[in-house]
Amino acid sequence: MTKQEVVTFLEKIKANYQSFSQEGYVLNEWYERLKDYDKEDVYKKFEEHLKGDLGSQIPKIHFITKYLIKSSEKGNQNNYKVLCPNCKKVLSLKDYEAHIERHNSIEYMKLHSKMFTILNEEKLLKMPEVLFKEKYDEFIEKLCEVLMSKEEKTQSEKEEFQRLQNYVYSKAGMPISIN
Same domain membership, residue 69 and residue 113: no
Same domain membership, residue 100 and residue 60: no
Same domain membership, residue 106 and residue 69: no
Same domain membership, residue 57 and residue 10: yes
At residue 179, the pLDDT reads 61
How far, CA to CA in Å, does 16 sit from each of 33, 44, 76?
21, 15, 35
Mean pLDDT confidence for 22-38: 92
At residue 124, the pLDDT reads 86
Q: Is the pLDDT of residue 77 over 60?
A: no
> How many independent structural domains does the chain possess?
2
Same domain membership, residue 108 and residue 60: no
Torsion of CA 165, 113, 136, 97, to 10 degrees: 100
Helical pair 3-16 and 39-51, crossing angle rounded to 10 deg: 10
Burial of 172 (0-12, 13-18, 19+ CB in 10 A): exposed
Q: Is the pLDDT of residue 115 over 70?
A: no
Same domain membership, residue 58 and residue 9: yes
| Domain-embedded: residue 87 | no
CB 77 within 8 A of CB 93: yes
Q: Is the pLDDT of residue 136 over 80?
A: yes
Q: Is the pLDDT of residue 152 over 90?
A: no
pTM of the predicted model as reported, rounded to 2 decimal places:
0.48
User: Between these two residues, 11 and 149, which has the higher pLDDT value?
Assistant: 11
Same domain membership, residue 103 and residue 71: no
Which domain covers residue 42, as residue numbers? Answer: 3-75
DSSP 30-90: HHHHHTTS-HHHHHHHHHHHHHSTTTTSPPPHHHHHTTPPPGGGGGGGGG-EEE-TTT--E
Distance in angstroms (rounded) separating the CA atoms of residues 9 and 34:
10
Total residue length of the chain:
179
Same domain membership, residue 153 and residue 97: yes
Domain end residue (candidates: 13, 44, 75): 75
Same domain membership, residue 45 and residue 10: yes
| Domain-embedded: residue 80 | no
| Domain-embedded: residue 177 | no
Same domain membership, residue 97 and residue 69: no
